[in-house]
Amino acid sequence: MSFITEFLIKPQKHAPVRSPAGSFTVNSKGQIMTSTLAQSFPSADLHAIAKAVLRAFGSSEASGIAVRELSIYYLALKIVARRMRGGAILFLEAHSRLEHEKQCLQTKAAFVPEAEPALLPS
């Protein structure tokens, strides 16, 4: 009977999942070398993030564009990746909704071209 009451009648409360905060380094093959993130953060997610970042750095290099730093803003997470010789260092930090909206507005303002006076209607 305790089995039924434990799992069916009284649902277990789970602690909320905290956004990760810390950094990790990867070599050029995507292998994680060091990490300051909690061990509870899934290593599969770390590998997926590292693979995507290394792919972005590789694509930029193949295009002839020198990218040394990459910033990615999600609703609750900010990722900053810096290219290093033989790999990259990635910083993960919690990102609030207000910070996310502020960053989106700054990014949008940076990409809005200023109108040339000759093109303005008179």
Instruction: CATH number of the domain at 53, please.
Output: 3.30.450.30
pLDDT band at 91 (very low <50, low <70, confident <90, very high): very high
Question: Does a structural domain hold residue 92?
Answer: yes
pLDDT attached to residue 115: 47
Helix (H) or strand (E) holding 26: strand 22-27
Question: Does a structural domain hold residue 58?
Answer: yes
pLDDT attached to residue 84: 92
Q: What is the pLDDT of residues 1-21, one digit of tens each?
A: 555 555 555 556 655 556 678
pLDDT attached to residue 6: 55
pLDDT above 60 for 35: yes
Query: Picking from 24-33, 90-99, 101-110, which range would have the lowest pLDDT averaged per residue?
Result: 101-110
Question: Does a structural domain hold residue 8?
Answer: no
Average pLDDT of the residues in 53-59 = 92
* Domain containing residue 28: 18-111
Question: Does a structural domain hold residue 24?
Answer: yes
Single-letter amino acid code for the residue at 41: F
Burial 35-53 (b: 16+ CB within 10 A, else e): bebeeebeeeebeebbeeb
The whole-model pTM stands at 0.66
Cα distances (angstroms) measured from residue 43 to each of 74, 106, 108: 19, 32, 33
Total domains in the fold of the chain:
1
Question: Does a structural domain hold residue 96?
Answer: yes
Question: Does a structural domain hold residue 101?
Answer: yes
Question: Does a structural domain hold residue 88?
Answer: yes
Question: Does a structural domain hold residue 40?
Answer: yes
